[in-house]
Amino acid sequence: MKCQMCKKNEAVILIHQVINNKKKVIKLCEDCALDSGFIEEKDDEVEFNLSNFIFSGLTLTDKDRESRLKETCKVCGTSLLTILKEKRCGCSECYSTFRYELKRRLKKCLGLTCHKGKYPRRLKAYKTFLFDLRALKDKLTIAVHDEDYESAAELRDEIKLLKNSDW
């Protein structure tokens, strides 16, 4: 059976929706379910997002898909269609408003959804400082959790020295 949205891919998700005692079966491929926000990709697994489906009250049709593309950001008024055409968001709130669509498109285009960023070469020492500080804080948390207060005190002192040093 084919997906009801794209009519191309094989449907792998069946959603049974009952509204006013009328049952409707919605058949979706994985791509369309991700685009619609009914499922989310988390690293290597796919998670069904039931709340998006229940509270949307929508049955999936081409009309609904078009209305989602015309939906606008509350802050800047940029529509999803505009963002997809221009390949840039209008404001920081656009990332929250259209997170499912943007995440799906990033995954499709770049193969990833998380940007780790780069540090300029002149800040390499600062980057090392941050990583060392994070590692020491993690060790401190583990030591406190394990009730190893002697090593926790030593780690606390190392963190203080590191913070006071000129990285």
Task: Report whether pLDDT(115) > 90.
Answer: no
pLDDT at res. 65: 64
Percentage of residues in the chain with pLDDT exceeding 90? 16
27-39: average pLDDT? 75
Task: Report whether pLDDT(39) > 80.
Answer: no
Q: What is the mean pLDDT of the chain?
A: 77
Question: With 0-12 CB in 10 A as exposed, 13-18 as middle and 19+ as buried, what is 129?
Answer: middle
- Dist CA 52 CA 36 (whole Å): 9
pLDDT at res. 127: 78
| Residue 91 Cα to chain centre, angstroms | 17
pLDDT at res. 59: 47
Between 47 and 109, where is the model more confident?
Answer: 109
- The three-state secondary structure class of 136 is helix
- Dist CA 158 CA 155 (whole Å): 5
pLDDT band (50, 70, 90) for residue 41: low
Between 156 and 102, where is the model more confident?
Answer: 156
pLDDT at res. 67: 72
Question: With 0-12 CB in 10 A as exposed, 13-18 as middle and 19+ as buried, what is 7?
Answer: exposed
pLDDT at res. 13: 80
Reported pTM? 0.35
pLDDT at res. 4: 83
Residues 6+ apart with CB under 8 A from 19: 57, 59
**Hey, what are 28's tokens?**
């979706």
Task: Report whether pLDDT(60) > 70.
Answer: no
Task: Report whether pLDDT(149) > 80.
Answer: yes
pLDDT band (50, 70, 90) for residue 38: low
26-38: average pLDDT? 76
Q: Per-domain residue ranges for the chain?
A: 1-60, 71-115, 121-164
Rounded to the nearest 10 degrees, how much is the dihedral formed by the CA atoms of 62, 68, 70, 73?
180
